[in-house]
A and B are shown apart, each in its own frame.
Chain A
Amino acid sequence: MDDRALLERVRRGDEHAFSRLYARYQSTIYRYAMHMCGAAAADDVVQDTFVALLRQPAKYDASRGPLVSYLFGIARHYVLKRLAIELPLDPLDDADGEAVALRAAEIATPLDVASRAELVAQVRDAIQTLPPAYREAVVLCELQDMDYAAAAAIMQCPIGTVRSRLHRAKAMLTTKLATLQSPSLATRQAP
């Protein structure tokens, strides 16, 4: 049964239909919230998101996009409230972004010496240190395998902005990892 039919049943008070919608999307919303504001807060974000859906199922307009995008929109609202921030449209100008990418390119990182598990853990931690606007781009495009258009709809920005944020985010991650792997080198090369 598709989302629309399930939501129609939810509107009529069908608990089983709501349970199926929850099972279908809770994981996606949880992962997004977990990467954006931590596992503990992710529980609350998932709960708040689905409670908002059940209280006002009629607010979802199928002509404006799939249900999952609508749920992401609600979840994002709660994530931003928790982060107590307003995501800037483009917090760094292009020059800054290019500079970060250039520094990352110049640093000879010894990532290859770290074990895979250590590397994954370090990248996971590094993602948490990214500014929220960049973190969100990485979470949606890389960790949720979302295309730029879908991510742009959720992030409420142009596709080009998603691309540039993702590019800069990766550059920052590379820099951070290089710093972790070779603090002395990073210190020497950083301005």
Chain B
Amino acid sequence: MSDARESGGVLNEALRAISAEDATAGAPPAVEARVMREFRAAAAARRRRVRAAVAILTLAAMLAIAAAIPTWRSMTSHGEASREPSVPPTSRREVTTEFMPLAYSGVPMTEGHVVRMEVPRASLVSFGLVPADGIDSAASAKVLADVIVGDDGLARAVRFVRRVEREGQRQ
């Protein structure tokens, strides 16, 4: 039995020696290179999938917007037509200035209308659109203007309109 114990001890010693010898053993660098290559390929595939998903979502969003625009436009134009029947829509045949604030532009309003009217050409001077000495010969002439009038009847802003088909004529 002592021989057996001795054999067992020797075997354990041998096993410890093997464990120590193998402690530094590891896969060769080529294995790590292959594994890292796989990782990069998987990461690239994941990025491609994410990009494809983003592209599909973007395309879907663009299609939805494109489909909605005509509907939105028709609803908007119908709404404006019903609210402002007296105002001709601005077309490519007209050139307008920006809306310029008037005296009551600071007064809050909940609803307003655009009213087209003829105003004396001299009113262009007060907005600096023509020099004061440039209207003498046509002081009585009229120009078109769109005026934003609030529901309280106060004018908030004005823009001047020129019809292009009357090329050469000044309104």
**Residues of A participating in the B interface, judged by any CB pair closer than 8 Å:** 13, 15, 18-19, 22, 26-27, 29-31, 34-35, 42-43, 46-47, 50-51, 54-55, 104-109, 111-112, 116, 119-120, 122-124, 127, 138, 142-145, 170, 173-174, 177-178
B24 surroundings in chain A (CB, below 8 A): 27
Interface of A is mostly: helix
**Cα distance, A123 to B11, chains bound together (Å):** 8
Name 8 interchain pairs, CB-CB below 8 A, sorted by A: A26-B32, A27-B25, A43-B30, A55-B42, A104-B7, A120-B14, A123-B14, A127-B18
Q: Does B17 contact A (CB under 8 A)?
A: yes
Question: Are B3 and A46 in touch, CB under 8 angstroms?
Answer: no
Question: Are B4 and A15 in touch, CB under 8 angstroms?
Answer: no
Question: Are B15 and A123 in touch, CB under 8 angstroms?
Answer: yes
**Interface-centre pick from B1, B10, B12 (highest chain A CB count, 10 A):** B10
Question: Are B7 and A109 in touch, CB under 8 angstroms?
Answer: yes
Interface of B is mostly: helix
**Cα distance, A179 to B30, chains bound together (Å):** 39
B interface residues, how many (CB within 8 angstroms): 35
**Cα distance, A174 to B10, chains bound together (Å):** 9
Q: Does B47 contact A (CB under 8 A)?
A: yes
Q: Smallest CB–CB gap between B115 and chain A, Å?
A: 61
Question: Are B26 and A112 in touch, CB under 8 angstroms?
Answer: no
Q: Smallest CB–CB gap between B70 and chain A, Å?
A: 42
Question: Are B35 and A22 in touch, CB under 8 angstroms?
Answer: yes
**Residues of B participating in the A interface, judged by any CB pair closer than 8 Å:** 1, 3-4, 6-8, 10-12, 14-19, 21-22, 24-28, 30-32, 34-36, 38-40, 42-43, 46-47
Identify the closest chain A residue to B43 (Cβ): A13
Question: Are B27 and A54 in touch, CB under 8 angstroms?
Answer: no
**Interface-centre pick from A42, A50, A116, A178 (highest chain B CB count, 10 A):** A50
Question: Are B25 and A116 in touch, CB under 8 angstroms?
Answer: no
Question: Are A15 and B15 in touch, CB under 8 angstroms?
Answer: no
Given contacts A123-B15, A143-B18, contact A50 B3 (CB under 8 A): no
Selected from B1, B14, B47, the residue in CB contact (under 8 A) with A119 is: B14
Identify the closest chain A residue to B16 (Cβ): A142
Given contacts A26-B26, A47-B34, 14 further A-B contacts (CB under 8 A): A13-B46, A15-B40, A26-B31, A27-B24, A31-B26, A43-B27, A46-B35, A106-B4, A107-B3, A120-B21, A122-B14, A144-B19, A145-B19, A174-B11
Question: Are B25 and A138 in touch, CB under 8 angstroms?
Answer: no
Nearest 6 pairs between A and B by C-beta?
A105-B4, A27-B26, A123-B14, A46-B27, A142-B15, A13-B43
